[in-house]
Amino acid sequence: MSSATEPIGTPPDEEPDIHTTAGKLADLYLRYEEAVHAGSARAVERQHAKGKKTARERIDLLLDPGSFVELDEFARHRSTNFGQEKNRPYGDGVVTGYGTIDGRPVCVFSQDVTVFGGSLGEVYGEKIVKVMDLAIKTGRPIIGINEGGGARIQEGVVSLGLYGEIFRRNTQASGVIPQISLIMGANAGGHVYSPALTDFVVMVDQTSHMFITGPDVIKTVTGEEVTFEDLGGGRTHNTKSGNAHYLGSDEDDAIAYVKELLSFLPSNNLSEPPVFEAPEPSGDSIADGVTDTDRELDTLVPDSPNQPYDMHEVITRVVDDGEFLEVHELFAPNVIVGFGRVDGHSVGIVANQPTQFAGCLDIDASEKAARFVRTCDAFNVPVLTFVDVPGFLPGTDQEWNGIIRRGAKLIYAYAEATVPLVTVITRKAYGGAYDVMGSKHLGADVNVAWPTAQIAVMGAQGAANIVHRKRLATAADGGEDVEALRAQLIQEYEDALCNPYVAAERGYVDGVIPPAHTRGYVARALRMLRDKRETLPPKKHGNIPL
């Protein structure tokens, strides 16, 4: 089969004679026809009326034309409970197989809500397990297109058993092959845990939902009233829970994002990401290669340390052709993560965002960045970090909800990573947050700073107030101009310690560079690090502070 929506051959107009060779072939074509149209015409019509595609239409949109090969299209359930033996459609409600995306092999499964509401039964689960095993054995990414109402109640505990089998495969595949989940409709109960175990989750605005228990159950148990969209809609999971990494405007947009995302990832953990043609260098040395666009970085950072700037302006001037694919864009916007290319090679980018909470790290930002760093490390993608962080966000809410433990995840992620790590400090790098954001002390390979960098225990104002507390109090008691003295002490602290040169003297940064040289410097650093080999001490696994 070359298309998920087009059956092989032409089905006969009348019942074939299966005792002849021609009849056997005609019977096969008839079965193909039944498998492709397993859902009723009415169910398909309802799906289209909601602005959604069918399971097979989604596969055709995802894969290269003519590349799809279906597996187990004739599989059917074996249940006889509640009269189920009278309704045994081919495929059992899920389409599985393999094909290519941009010429690269992938495995795929697509849940069919037009058959048994997409609910998971024994054979349905076995089909998914089989294609997952194939993906793991052959080292190719797997994309799951999800839309289903949970376990098939009529089949009882066997459905739960197959959920567990799928979850185990998700775990075994984690860090071995890229796993991407497309959430294309309502997913409830056990249907949502498999996507949560995958590397990336993509949802569609207004038409896709995920929740463990629906609004009706919540109202019955807790008395809360909530809509499907507020409880588990795509926007909720992209902005509040962080369970989703991208919000597609429609199904076409969601699938296009997945295809672009795959272009930055390798097929498995033993291979490298695809390499694209790099822009032609404009000079032999870093200085010779500086462009007018690069020079715009020289004036990007404001004179006032309290004035924000958009870190996207830095990122797009460093990556090839200014192309940056952001991940988790709507969640924890005080840190930016995503993929770009430098010299044609994939690179994962982590950056503080001064326009949001002044770039402070909080619980959500720490977990978002930690997850991304670990994903890059698992799949041989170098990590480029841009630092402008005044510290961790203060507040009882942060402390009581575990900023110590959850912020430590980011420390763990950087310290554990063995891929090339390059860090650029653009402005603030204060306190513990300096250490956390890809510092030399956590194992980063190349660290540089701009002359605007302020690498210190804390900002000058806070430091002056603490260090010179007694002197300021004495001045106040003596009737002196305290504010003038405070300004003088702040300036002295800035001149002495709030700069990149103290760190440079100690080798904590490898150099202080003009901002305009960043693109060239980063490219050369990553080029040098392509041959990096680093191994961790032997262990069963680490104990990240989950």
Nearest to 170 by CA among 214, 125, 208: 125
Alpha-carbon distances of 365 from 115, 330, 393, 418, 545, rounded to whole Å: 40, 11, 10, 22, 16
Lookup result for tokens 């941009």: 102
Say how far residue 284 (Cα) sits from the centre of its chain. 36
What is the C-alpha radius of gyration for the chain, rounded to an integer number of angstroms? 28
Residue from 23, 139, 156, 432 carrying the catalytic annotation: 432
Residue from 417, 433, 504, 516 carrying the catalytic annotation: 433
Residue 117 φ/ψ, nearest 5 degrees: 65, 15
Annotation says 443 is catalytic? no
Cβ-based neighbours of 529, under 8 Å, separated by 6 or more: 382, 420, 422, 445, 446
Bridge partners, residue 111, by sequence: 94
Lookup result for tokens 């429609």: 250
Quick one: CA dihedral 192, 196, 200, 205, positive or negative? positive
Contact, 298 vs 313, CB < 8 A? no
Annotation says 511 is catalytic? no
- What tokens were used for 390? 């005044």
Length of the chain as a residue count: 546
- What tokens were used for 254? 């969601």
Helices 55-62/251-262 angle, 10° precision: 40
Other beta carbons within 10 angstroms of residue 74's beta carbon come to 13
Residue from 93, 190, 289, 348 carrying the catalytic annotation: 190
Is beta strand 421-430 parallel, antiparallel or unpaired with respect to 335-342? unpaired
Which one-letter amino acid corresponds to residue 466? I
Cβ-based neighbours of 272, under 8 Å, separated by 6 or more: 266, 380
DSSP letters, 246-276, are EEESSHHHHHHHHHHHHTTS-SSTTS-----
**Cα atoms found within 13 Å of the Cα of residue 62, Cβ hemisphere only:** 34
**Cα atoms found within 13 Å of the Cα of residue 124, Cβ hemisphere only:** 30
Contact, 342 vs 386, CB < 8 A? no
Which one-letter amino acid corresponds to residue 451? P
- What tokens were used for 246? 């991208």
Lookup result for tokens 């299966």: 18
Helices 363-378/403-416 angle, 10° precision: 20
Tell me how far apart the alpha carbons of residues 190 and 194 are, in angstroms, rounded to a whole number: 8
Tell me how far apart the alpha carbons of residues 334 and 361 are, in angstroms, rounded to a whole number: 7
Reduced to 3 states, what is the DSSP secondary structure of residue 319?
Answer: coil
Annotation says 433 is catalytic? yes
Tell me how far apart the alpha carbons of residues 243 and 450 are, in angstroms, rounded to a whole number: 35
Residue from 189, 214, 232, 348 carrying the catalytic annotation: 189
Annotation says 186 is catalytic? no
Q: Which residues are catalytic?
A: 189-190, 432-433
